[in-house]
């Protein structure tokens, strides 16, 4: 998950943020990391670019991208 955190930091251009500053269970959107709809697009691109995973149902996005942990679990299940 450390690697995934670094990929998220790079993809979202979270300059000067360290991987240790992201809690794997912390909500990525809203009050957590404060991500928004533009960042959601970036995470979709990240899954495709780094893992070859395409999300065909946008409604699943909310669950997939809830946290670093949920992203990691989805990647593991769909790689």
Contacts with another protein, residue ranges (CB under 8 A)? 11-17, 32-35, 38-39, 41-42, 45, 49
Would you say 23 or 63 has its CB closer to another protein? 23
DSSP state string for 7-70:
HHHHHTT-TT--GGGS-TTS-SBTTSS-B-HHHHHHHHHHHHHHH------GGGHHHHTSSHHH
Would you say 15 or 56 has its CB closer to another protein? 15
Question: Shortest distance, CB of residue 59 to another protein, whole angstroms?
Answer: 20
Question: Shortest distance, CB of residue 45 to another protein, whole angstroms?
Answer: 6
């Amino acid at each position: 998950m450390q690697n995934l955190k670094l990929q998220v930091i790079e993809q979202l251009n979270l300059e000067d943020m360290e991987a240790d500053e992201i809690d794997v269970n912390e909500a990525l959107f809203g009050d957590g990391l404060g991500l928004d709809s533009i960042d959601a697009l970036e995470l979709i691109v990240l899954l495709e670019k780094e893992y070859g995973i395409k999300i065909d149902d946008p409604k699943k996005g909310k669950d997939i991208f809830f946290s670093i942990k949920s992203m990691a679990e989805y990647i593991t299940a769909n790689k």
